[in-house]
Structure 1
Amino acid sequence: MPGTLRRYRRACDYLAAAMIHLKDNVLLTEPLRPEHLKPRPLGHWGTCPGLTLIYAGLNRLVADTGQRTLLITGPGHGAPAIHANLWLEGTHAEYDPRLSLDGHGLAELVRRFSWPGGFPSHLSPEVPGVIHEGGELGYALATAFGAAFDDPGLLVACVVGDGEAETGPAAGSWHSPKFTGQGDGRVLPILHLNGYKIASPTIYETMSDDELTAYFTGCGWTPLLADVRDTDDPDTPLADALARAHAQDSGPPPMIVLRSTKGMGLPATSPDGTPLEGTFHAHQVPLPGAADDPDQIAELERWLRSYRPEELFDADGVPADDLLAVPPEPSLRLGRVPQANGGQLRRDLPLPGLGKFAVEVTEPGADQASPTEVLGSWLAELVRQAPDTFRVVCPDELESNQLGALLEVTDRQFGRDVRGYTEHLGRRGRVLEVLSEHLCQGWLQGYLLTGRHGLFPCYEAFVSIVDSMVNQYAKFLKMSGEVPWRAPVASLNYLLTSDGWRQEHNGYSHQGPGFINQMLTKKADTARIYFPPDANTLLETMYRCLSSTDLINVVVAGKRDGPVWLSPEQARAHCRAGATVWPWAGHEGEADVVLACAGTTPTVETLAAAQLLADAAPDLRVRVVNVVDLLSLCPADRHPNGLSEEAFTECFGDNVPVIFAFHGYPSAVHEVLHGRRGAQRFHVHGYLEEGTTTTPFALLASNRMTRHDLAADAVGRARGWSSAGGDLARGFHRRRDELLALSYRDGEDPAEITGWRWPR
């Protein structure tokens, strides 16, 4: 077997090098010429030989043990190595017959890599066996743990590059085993320590074996060191480490530190004397100027021929029999593990009915309830009914966000003994709480992509910590939707609470709705943004989100007691429509002005403004519209949730000014309205990046979002009210300032604000 594995790796390394450089003459059956080379050679060679070494070692382990194994590759730009292995094991051909195990398939594989319309230079959803692209570094290990939760028979082997290991998310991820519990699979990290990132040594390269052992032992691992730099048989040290890791069944879990040579197999230097093998110069394309430099193309040909492809493939390009015998049986091959196409494993959640959890409404606004507290009871029932396929990940904020009912039916999962006082902590639970948004995001991504369901509650201001991660995940979903064999996965659901309008006590640092704008950059097929105004609409919204697939749903909801505006039946109709007129809050028929709102606090201020106008300007015809689905404002030809022109006009009229109280930055509403006729008549109040530690009313005032600001704007813009409106507007502003002065004097808002109720 060692000799066969060596030949197998030689074949993979040859294919990887060919993918980076060649577009023709892929088996070197004639002398290499410039026209055989790709005009834009792309790829990362440096990690490829090490990745193939790991892939071959895992093949051997799986073949010997029958262990079901998912491979997650942090250094995703080592894609040529993964493609080579997938081709040799026959998985590529199963998903695409054009990648057949012969010369035609080999030529197609080599040509397609980093070619327009072909495979990207990094791993992607088009590639079998992949749930993590590894384009942006730092998230592989958290994703691996997410995949392992609730799958006790699964081994997730995770390659972490030593450059990636320098990132903050990767550093936090080393603590993930402390959160695994009974019924979870195993994660085997392999730190691929080849010494260099793009242009300099890595931190981990500078650490001695003793330092590495101490560091990973302190993180809770049993580190196994495998140094293959100075041996002609690198397969044996790695095989020994893999066998020890697989056999260990007690104590801190094993992880492997694999020291290898960067770009193994390269020439020592380039023709101009630049060192290559074992240096950062091996990181990307080793000989990028070969098409124009005779010395480089000659060196490239010598390098490629050093793999002796004629010994590995026959004249028709078919791999030798011993190479084809290396991968395990088809059902156990790394590219075919079912968890890598988790949508095929996904089953709909047994969502409880909403009836017994909804709040009965005697009349709009007369009853009070915390939206998230009501939701928490429903989620607790869901956990009872889905004990193995639904998890909640949260940055230590579950009870703060009024979702504590979950802890009546499940523990926070934690795998270590704790010396101090704890509550609701156990070895198995549906809740994972860690003060790292990165870990929550990575865990949930891995969990969803392997066929399960979940929810990510988070403080609104701090979910932006995962902006970059959700960017990558949105791209993964977008590309997955274009791959015919990828089955839909459960949607990624964010519940953003502790919103900025009620973070006056925590101050400016906790006031930030920017994640909404971030989501507006995503494809219409991917992103959804909801602002349920009360408890019943939150229940209905979450039911819809947890029923959906292949979406990123952002739900922004209040956690404090607030008015319940809609009955369960009205909430259902409202959420189905996306935006509706609330006739009980305004006038029937034609309107002089529309008061629109989206969000819990903006809804309260809008209805309070409607009351102010009813008292001060009873002849002003006001229509009140609530928007629960922000993207319903988009033109229907731009977004599938967009209101039809008829429905939009029914809500907002034709030429009527619209005063819009919005939860987030005003620019978000203007962006979604782009393309609507008469969009300039929308005058949006929202968060203006003004904040501090203050009172709720003072925070609203600093952002011109009080009921008085809305009412003043309404009378100032309403048709036919240009003269009378000025005096009324000044009166509204004067009263706002009087109330604000009381807030500053007393340190709390006046009863006129805190005691306001609808109806009076």
Structure 2
Amino acid sequence: MQKHYLDAHELAQLDAYWRASNYISVGQIYLLDNPLLKKSLSLHDVKPRLLGHWGTTPGLNFIYTHMNRLINHDDLNMFFIAGPGHGGPSVVAQTYLEGVYSEVYPKITQDEVGLQMLFKQFSFPGGIPSHAAPQTPGSIHEGGELGYALSHAYGAVFDNKDVIACCVVGDGEAETGPLATSWHSNKFLNPKTDGVVLPILHLNGYKIASPTILSRISHEELEALFRGYGYEPFFVEGDEPEAMHSKMAEVLDVIVKRIQTIWHEARVLNKEERPRWPMLILRTPKGWSGPKEVDGLKSEGHCRSHQVPFATFGSSPEHLTLLERWLKSYKPEELFDEKGRLFSHIASFAPKGEKRMGANPHTNGGALLKPLVLPDFKAYAVDVPSPAGGLAESTRVLGNYLRDVMAQNRQNFRVFGPDETASNRLNALFEVTNRTWMAQKDSFDEHLSADGRVMEILSEHTCQGWLEGYLLTGRHGFFSCYEAFIHIVDSMFNQHAKWLKVTSREIPWRKPIASLNYLLTSHVWRQDHNGFSHQDPGFIDVVVNKKAHIINVYFPPDANTLLWVGDWCLKSKNSINVIVAGKQPEVQWLSMPDAIAHCEQGMGIWEWASDRGEPDVILACCGDVPTLETLAAVRLLRELVPSVKIRVVNVVDLMALQPHSEHPHGWSDEAYNALFPKDVPTIFAYHGYPWLIHRLAYKRAHHEHLHVRGYKEEGTTTTPFDMVVLNDTDRFHLVMDVMHRVSKMKPYEEEICQKMTEKLAEHKAYIERYGIDMPEILEWRWK
């Protein structure tokens, strides 16, 4: 390293900008008033509740400030992702200094009044969170939960050819499983067509209360680790500001040249090999530039500076003096004029217009969103001349549709999944694209290429993170997964749902983004071969906890309804859509016109399977396998007790069960009551856990007549039909339910229940002898 890489003017400007951002960050955590320290601090100037995190903030400010220099120096298109969980003070301070914050929130002016409002609102009732939250310009990553920064960053630069995502990974975050896996995203980045992620591992030594692993291994081991991940690591380490500014500037200039060289070799010289992308490992003290000691104990460079370094002003008056001394150490009189405006020679350091990271258009992806060019889903219809008039693999049919969606949207649509695209019968996609792959290939490998658009890695976390980053920067995507293992991303789903909840109703400058679409297949009722570990429909229960206006859950019973649902989901915005559909050959119930009419209602009577007039019993169903068992039960009942009047209701949109006041797709009470009349028992066969149906419908009239059967944690390696038998959701149990619950069936109850019990015994004996289901089950068809 050269000792003085920067000239005196550039060094002074860099340092002043960094000090200004640190000053504003400390002010946000502590100050209620007196933002320019025009008088000595008093207790009235300090917030009564001190909330926020200082430890990571000065390092984030250091990085952001140096990125501004790079943007100006090399005319870069860059945005910033703050991985450390509570780095909000830094990102808010930086976007305020560059002027973006005041443009988005005009009340937060660039003067003393605006500075006071900026300070007060931070972690304050009616104000803003302590993270780089949706309210923060330039953010696509909340950071309130650790582990996803790097996968978000990579997702954001796929198909963004000239964009650089500066992604700061905290050393606490680096200990999480999702983050550890996401380092491998560099094996999927195509330098010809994608942007680049500049990962910056920020080692400040501590988590909340203990050291971090990566800060306590040797330099050699740390370097070997990241070389093993496929990066070229650069190091900047120290705590003396002048030397650190000079080191950082020199190293970053080298890194940018490396990136530009890689792009040139790939885009001009057509170099095909996977490059070794640069990364930076920055080591600074935790709480850098803050108090060295508090109450005689080490603060800077220790976990004691992680949150608020000191807080007891009432009982410890000396803390007020310490805070004032700390704030004045940044020399605010050299940074702000009398009116509270940043001096122009410092403010000029920020990039201009959309080059400012807080104003980068990719961080407000809805503003860049272009609708997909979608083929007519009706052209892929399965011919169903009469109800149950054929067999088809529903997801394979959807795969044909997605193939053509992919073919017509090669710049802004990708399909994501953990090594299951072909398994889930979506392999028609490989007729028009391959799996994205930049690692080594063997001659016998299939469907792997650098320009592939199917993103597969055996990490649901990474798939979800990539997809979120892709959507948040203005593109479209589709995520298929085995139903039981989508639970792995429960927490990531929660965070994205919270982001959408806030942005869709509370932040008008955030434009709507494309919906996050899940296809859950290989579902609970067809995991007979994999056994109990693969049987869990509970993700749906997690989903419906979220705000109703952003979530939708669909159970298409056949291929034509799945086509309608898939098309609707790809057109929607600001939603999370969950589709649950089987991949095995299944009975097809509805023609395309009937499927469209049914899906548009969300649920309804299947007239062709129902008796006319007022019913004695309603057999309702939701899900492909429950629908099959319900229709089989209807045929049995008609054969055994021809006098019983049955109404068959199928639910394709789960949220239709809720009142309209609870969900936009919910039915009015009047319409619901017409579907489910007063005092008529309803036997409801449901795909998932039964209590969810009760929860959704508990406000409805006559709820006491609703009896739900579904999955109840019974399963093993067995036959497909035995799975429904084990959970009492099969046709025989449904028939017995009708016998028990319909009063006019009392004369027949004992005899018919005995027959059903005998059929269940016959079934059990047969599968234990032959290992497959009885012919009457396998060959059953609707008549």
2:749 and 2:666 map into 1 onto residues whose CA distance is: 33
2:475 pairs with 1:452: yes
Q: 1:145 to 1:540 in 2, by over 3 A?
A: same
What secondary structure sits across from 2:378 in the alignment? coil
2:711 pairs with 1:687: yes
1:101-131 deviation digits (Å, cap 9, x = unpaired): 1111111101111111111111111111011
Q: Tell me, yes or no, if the aligned pair for 1:656 and 1:719 is still in contact at 8 Å.
A: no
Q: After TM superposition, give the deviation of residue 420 of structure 1 in Å.
A: 6.3
Q: Tell me, yes or no, if the aligned pair for 2:673 and 2:701 is still in contact at 8 Å.
A: no
1:538-560 deviation digits (Å, cap 9, x = unpaired): 00000000000000000000101
Aligned to 2:383, which of 354, 360, 363? 360
Aligned to 1:50, which of 54, 59, 73? 59
1:603-655 deviation digits (Å, cap 9, x = unpaired): 00000000010100110001111000111000111111111223212322222
1:509-563 deviation digits (Å, cap 9, x = unpaired): 1000010100010100111100000000000000000000000000000101111
What amino acid sits opposite 1:202 in the alignment? T
| Partner residue in 2 for 1:87 | 96
What secondary structure sits across from 2:253 in the alignment? helix
Aligned to 1:369, which of 392, 410, 414? 392
Percent identity, aligned pairs only, is: 48
2:619 pairs with 1:609: no
Aligned length: 758
Q: After TM superposition, give the deviation of residue 97 of structure 1 in Å.
A: 1.0
Aligned to 2:599, which of 571, 575, 580? 575
Aligned to 2:350, which of 316, 319, 327? 327
Q: After TM superposition, give the deviation of residue 730 of structure 1 in Å.
A: 2.9
1:528 and 1:370 map into 2 onto residues whose CA distance is: 23
| Partner residue in 2 for 1:749 | 773
Q: After TM superposition, give the deviation of residue 230 of structure 1 in Å.
A: 4.5
2:85 and 2:363 map into 1 onto residues whose CA distance is: 15
Q: 1:445 to 1:215 in 2, by over 3 A?
A: same
| Partner residue in 1 for 2:272 | none
| Partner residue in 2 for 1:312 | 335
1:69-111 deviation digits (Å, cap 9, x = unpaired): 0111101411111111111100011101111111111111011
What secondary structure sits across from 2:377 in the alignment? coil
Q: After TM superposition, give the deviation of residue 231 of structure 1 in Å.
A: 5.3
**Bigger shift: 281-290 or 737-746?**
737-746
| Partner residue in 1 for 2:50 | 41
2:357 and 2:400 map into 1 onto residues whose CA distance is: 41
For structure 1, the residue ranges without an aligned partner over 5 or more in a row are: none
2:276 pairs with 1:252: yes
| Partner residue in 2 for 1:205 | 215
What amino acid sits opposite 2:165 in the alignment? V
2:291 and 2:158 map into 1 onto residues whose CA distance is: 43
Aligned to 2:205, which of 195, 206, 212? 195
2:360 and 2:255 map into 1 onto residues whose CA distance is: 20
1:259-288 deviation digits (Å, cap 9, x = unpaired): 111101112111x21210000001000112
1:41 and 1:291 map into 2 onto residues whose CA distance is: 13
2:283 pairs with 1:274: no
What secondary structure sits across from 1:720 in the alignment? helix
Q: Tell me, yes or no, if the aligned pair for 1:592 and 1:656 is still in contact at 8 Å.
A: yes
1:472 and 1:723 map into 2 onto residues whose CA distance is: 55
Aligned to 2:193, which of 183, 189, 203? 183
1:697 and 1:561 map into 2 onto residues whose CA distance is: 14
2:446 pairs with 1:428: no
| Partner residue in 2 for 1:157 | 166
Q: Tell me, yes or no, if the aligned pair for 2:618 and 2:647 is still in contact at 8 Å.
A: yes
Q: Tell me, yes or no, if the aligned pair for 2:415 and 2:453 is still in contact at 8 Å.
A: yes
What amino acid sits opposite 2:252 in the alignment? L
What secondary structure sits across from 2:199 in the alignment? strand
Q: Tell me, yes or no, if the aligned pair for 2:618 and 2:682 is still in contact at 8 Å.
A: yes
| Partner residue in 2 for 1:219 | 229
| Partner residue in 2 for 1:593 | 617
What amino acid sits opposite 2:337 in the alignment? D
**Bigger shift: 307-316 or 19-28?**
307-316
2:401 and 2:444 map into 1 onto residues whose CA distance is: 28
1:292 and 1:11 map into 2 onto residues whose CA distance is: 30
What secondary structure sits across from 2:675 in the alignment? helix
Q: Tell me, yes or no, if the aligned pair for 1:75 and 1:164 is still in contact at 8 Å.
A: yes
1:329 and 1:17 map into 2 onto residues whose CA distance is: 26
| Partner residue in 1 for 2:371 | 348
| Partner residue in 1 for 2:41 | 32
Q: Tell me, yes or no, if the aligned pair for 1:88 and 1:323 is still in contact at 8 Å.
A: no
What amino acid sits opposite 1:193 in the alignment? L
2:205 and 2:173 map into 1 onto residues whose CA distance is: 12
Aligned to 2:24, which of 15, 26, 30? 15
What amino acid sits opposite 1:57 in the alignment? H
2:407 pairs with 1:404: no
Map residues 526-541 of structure 1 onto 2, 5 A cutoff.
526-541=550-565
Q: Tell me, yes or no, if the aligned pair for 2:515 and 2:572 is still in contact at 8 Å.
A: yes
1:424-456 deviation digits (Å, cap 9, x = unpaired): 000111101110000000000000000000000
1:133 and 1:664 map into 2 onto residues whose CA distance is: 31
1:24 and 1:88 map into 2 onto residues whose CA distance is: 19
Q: Tell me, yes or no, if the aligned pair for 2:236 and 2:247 is still in contact at 8 Å.
A: yes
2:325 pairs with 1:302: yes
2:499 pairs with 1:476: yes
What amino acid sits opposite 1:39 in the alignment? P
1:523 and 1:409 map into 2 onto residues whose CA distance is: 37
| Partner residue in 2 for 1:438 | 461
| Partner residue in 2 for 1:339 | 362
1:66 and 1:195 map into 2 onto residues whose CA distance is: 33
What amino acid sits opposite 1:721 in the alignment? M
Q: Tell me, yes or no, if the aligned pair for 1:697 and 1:740 is still in contact at 8 Å.
A: no
Aligned to 2:175, which of 140, 159, 166? 166
| Partner residue in 1 for 2:645 | 621
2:250 and 2:616 map into 1 onto residues whose CA distance is: 79
Q: Tell me, yes or no, if the aligned pair for 1:524 and 1:638 is still in contact at 8 Å.
A: yes
Q: Tell me, yes or no, if the aligned pair for 1:491 and 1:546 is still in contact at 8 Å.
A: yes
What amino acid sits opposite 1:513 in the alignment? P
1:231 and 1:121 map into 2 onto residues whose CA distance is: 26
What secondary structure sits across from 1:159 in the alignment? strand
Q: Tell me, yes or no, if the aligned pair for 1:228 and 1:237 is still in contact at 8 Å.
A: no
TM-score (norm 2): 0.96
Q: Tell me, yes or no, if the aligned pair for 2:684 and 2:709 is still in contact at 8 Å.
A: yes
TM-score (norm 1): 0.98
**Bigger shift: 225-234 or 549-558?**
225-234
What amino acid sits opposite 1:111 in the alignment? K
For structure 2, the residue ranges without an aligned partner over 5 or more in a row are: 1-9, 263-274
1:729 and 1:310 map into 2 onto residues whose CA distance is: 88
What secondary structure sits across from 2:744 in the alignment? coil
Q: 1:231 to 1:8 in 2, by over 3 A?
A: closer
Q: After TM superposition, give the deviation of residue 232 of structure 1 in Å.
A: 3.3
